[in-house]
Amino acid sequence: MPNYIDIEDNGRIRTIAINRADKRNALNADVVAELQQAFDAAEADDSVRVVVLTGRGGVFCAGADLAYLQQINENSVLENAEDSRQLMRLMYSIRTSTKATIARVNGHAIAGGCGLALTCDILVSVEDAKFGFTEVRIGFVPAIVMKLLMERSGMGVARELLIRGNLVDAAVAKEYRMVNHVVSEERLDETVTHIAREIATETSPQAVAMTKRLMRDVASRDIEDAMSLAYWQNAISRATPDFRTGVNSFLSKSKPDWK
C-alpha cells in the first residue's frame, strides 16, 4: 500500500498524486520508488489511456525534502549514483510512456518537481504556480532535467534558467514553452479532465503510442533520416487494428470503439 502517493481511476484516466502536502510534496527515495511502481503499473494496464500526475494541497512538488538532502550529503559517490539512477529511471519511464501523460500543476514545481512536470506530454498549470531549477543555488547540478528543459524551451531559455537558478511564474513558463495551458485554480480540474477525456475517448491508443515514439525518434535526426523513418512508420500504422477500426468507423459515420 503506497504511503506517499494516491492513485485514482476515473474510467480510462488514472491520476497519480504525490500526497505529502505537509512537506510540499517534496521528493525522497521512497516517493520516487512509489511513483516508479505507479507508472510501471499504469504502463502495463491496457485499460489506462491517460495518466495525470499531480500533487495534493497547494504545491505540485517542491523538489527534494530537507532530510533527503541531508542523506544525499552524507552518501558515498556510489550511493548517490544509485539514488540518482532511480530518479533518472522514473523520469525516463514517464517521458517514454506509451500512455498520454498530463501534468496537473496545482502549485509550485521546483527543481526535481519541475523536472517531473516536464516529463509529461501536456502541462496544465494554475496561474500562481512558479517554475524553475534552483539546484545551482545549493551547489547542485540540474543534470537529469537538463534534456527535458532543452527539448521544450530550447538552449537559450535552458541556459538562463539552469545557470541563474531563478523561478518564473506560470505566464512566463508558458512563454518559454514549458507549459501548454495556464488557467485559474477554479478551471484547473475542468481543463485537465477535458483534455484527458478527449484523448481517452477520441484517439486510438495504438496511434498515440506510435506517435509518441516517432516524435522521440525523429527529434535527433536530420530531415532526410527523419522523413525516411516517418514514411515507414506511416505504412506500419496502416496495418494496425486501430487503423482499420478508425477508417471503418469514419466511412460508416459511426464512433470508433477503441479497445
Q: How many CB atoms lie within 10 A of CB 219?
A: 9
Catalytic (active site) residue 135? yes
The segments of the chain whose pLDDT lies below 70 read 1, 247, 250-251, 258
Based on the domain organization, do 196 and 229 belong to the same domain?
no
Given 156, 178, 200, which residue is the final one in a domain? Answer: 200
- Does 193 lie in the same domain as 239? no
How many structural domains is the chain composed of?
2
- Rounded CA separation 131/125 (Å): 10
Residue 143 resides in a domain: yes
Catalytic residue among 82, 135, 175, 224: 135
The confidence score (pLDDT) of residue 239 equals 73
Closest of 149, 148, 114, 120 to residue 132, by C-alpha: 114
Q: Cα 163–167–171 angle (5° rounding)?
A: 120
Instruction: Tell me whether residue 88 is in a domain.
Output: yes
Residues 96 and 54 in one domain: yes
Task: Note whether 224 and 139 are same-domain residues.
Answer: no
34: left (phi over 0), alpha (psi -120 to 50) or beta: alpha
User: Does the residue 61 lie in any domain?
Assistant: yes
User: Would residue 13 count as lying in a domain?
Assistant: yes
| Residues 134 and 219 occupy one common structural domain | no
What is residue 247's predicted lDDT score, i.e. its pLDDT?
Answer: 66
Q: Are residues 148 and 100 in the same domain?
A: yes
Residue 259 lies in a domain: no
Query: Based on the domain organization, do 149 and 180 belong to the same domain?
Result: yes
The Cβ-side half-sphere exposure at 166, using a 13 Å CA radius, reads: 9
- 49 and 155 fall within a common domain: yes
Taking the CA atoms of residue 32, residue 124, residue 190 and residue 192 in that order, the dihedral angle to the nearest 10 degrees is -50
Q: What is the pTM of this model?
A: 0.91
Give the three cell numbers for residue 242: 486501430
Instruction: Give the model's pLDDT for residue 202.
Output: 94
Residue 258 inside a domain? The answer is no
Cα(2)–Cα(26) distance, integer angstroms: 16
pLDDT of 217 reads 85
Q: Is residue 257 part of a domain?
A: no
Angle at 25 between CA 148 and CA 114, to 5 degrees: 15
Compute the residue count for the chain.
259
Q: Which three cell numbers stand for residue 16?
A: 497519480
What CATH number corresponds to the domain at position 217? 1.10.12
In this structure, are 26 and 94 located in the same domain? yes
| Same-domain check for residues 220 and 115 | no
Coil, helix or strand for 246? Answer: helix
- Say whether both 164 and 246 belong to one domain: no
Same domain, yes or no: 209 and 107: no
Domain with 164 in it:
5-200
CATH number of residue 100's parent domain: 3.90.226.10
